[in-house]
Amino acid sequence: MKTILVTGTAGFIGFHLAKRLLNDGYRVVGVDSITDYYDIRMKIRRNKILLESQNYKFYKTNIADYKALDKIVKKEKPEVIIHLAAQAGVRYSLTNPWAYAEANYLGTMNIFETAKNNKIKRVLYASSSSVYGKNTISPFSEDHRVDQPISIYAASKRANELLAHSYHHLYGIETAGMRFFTVYGDYNRPDLALFKFTKSILLGKPIDVYNNGEMGRDFTYVSDIVDGIIAILNKKDLNYEIYNLGGDNPISLMNFIKLIETNLNKKAKLKMLPMQPGDVKENFADVTKARRELGFDPKIKIDKGVALYIDWFNKNKSWLLKLKEGKQ
């Protein structure tokens, strides 16, 4: 049985990935420090589901603590590391950049360092569409420039890609940076728009609409992201790679809100606000490379994905409506 170490398993994407790996017959070692950036009750719930599997072993550990991380790797001997733990969120990176320094800079360096010291051949890690920053050529392609990040979060994710290059060059570690584009689905993060909008509409509260609604996002359903990660995991040859993993299905913010309204059968109260510093106006993905090299084929279109999400939310309303949304 192959052992995979996944960081961030109490998080949204890590949870879904670990669930799939366990279903597919892998042994999963999960590492997460369960930070309180958003309501930890969501993280504990996800982790509890994973702990139902005998093939899941969990360590509540901070990846910024090298000794603790290295000890786990030495004991569990994973063949591959899939590194998804991070301090996420664009806006919070402007108020608490130190959280990003700890988790994203130091934490990611520790991941590569332990991979090097324990001869782990392959490391997949989460990057982000936010690395495209000021790039205005749309859709975003892997060969576009990414040297103008506009948030501390984006800069930290780009730094991870550069670090991966050094570790690949120096020690031959196979690396793949995965630039995710606005991932959504059940158990998603309560600090993200879909959760916040759904909750506020149900409670009759106004929702914050930035840049007067003139924004666009390439929403990617989480099962499609997991398919992409598994395809990279199974890819025979890997050197230093970067892949856009997006839904190939862009939508404007106003149409996104309309879709939620339709599914909830309730109108939203809109609070129009200016653009937020650090935010990008549009993030549409060009997934040609992932299609060609991985057979990546995002299947869940936004109408179906939002319908699935609202259905799940309605069934879980009693606890979801109590969750705190996340630090700003």
Ligand X SMILES: NC(=O)c1ccc[n+]([C@@H]2O[C@H](COP(=O)([O-])OP(=O)(O)OC[C@H]3O[C@@H](n4cnc5c(N)ncnc54)[C@H](O)[C@@H]3O)[C@@H](O)[C@H]2O)c1
Binding site for ligand X (CB under 6 A): 8, 10-14, 31-35, 43, 62-64, 84-88, 102-103, 107, 126, 128, 180, 182-183, 189
Q: How far is the CB of 231 from ligand X (least distance, A)?
A: 17
Of the residues 38, 56, 153, 221, which is catalytic?
153
State the residue number with the nearest CB to ligand X. 11
User: Can you say whether the dihedral through the CA atoms of 147, 240, 233, 38 is positive or negative?
Assistant: negative
φ, ψ (nearest 5 deg) of residue 210: -85, 155
Identify which of residues 134 and 269 has a Cβ nearer to ligand X in the complex.
Answer: 134
User: Cα torsion at 205, 209, 213, 214 (round to 10°)?
Assistant: -170
Query: Alpha-carbon dihedral of residues 46, 159, 279, 181, nearest 10 degrees?
Result: -50
Identify which of residues 173 and 225 has a Cβ nearer to ligand X in the complex.
Answer: 225
Asked about 221 being catalytic, the answer comes back as no
Between 122 and 190, CB nearer to ligand X:
190
| In the complex, least distance from residue 16 CB atom to ligand X, rounded to whole angstroms | 8
Nearer to ligand X, 35 or 263 (CB): 35
Nearer to ligand X, 44 or 170 (CB): 44
As measured in angstroms, the least distance from the Cβ of 42 to ligand X is 8
Instruction: State the nearest-atom distance from the C-beta of 132 to ligand X, in Å.
Output: 11
The minimum distance between CB 69 and ligand X, in angstroms, equals 8
Q: From the CB of 180, what's the least distance to ligand X, in Å?
A: 4
Nearer to ligand X, 19 or 189 (CB): 189
Q: Which residues are catalytic?
A: 153
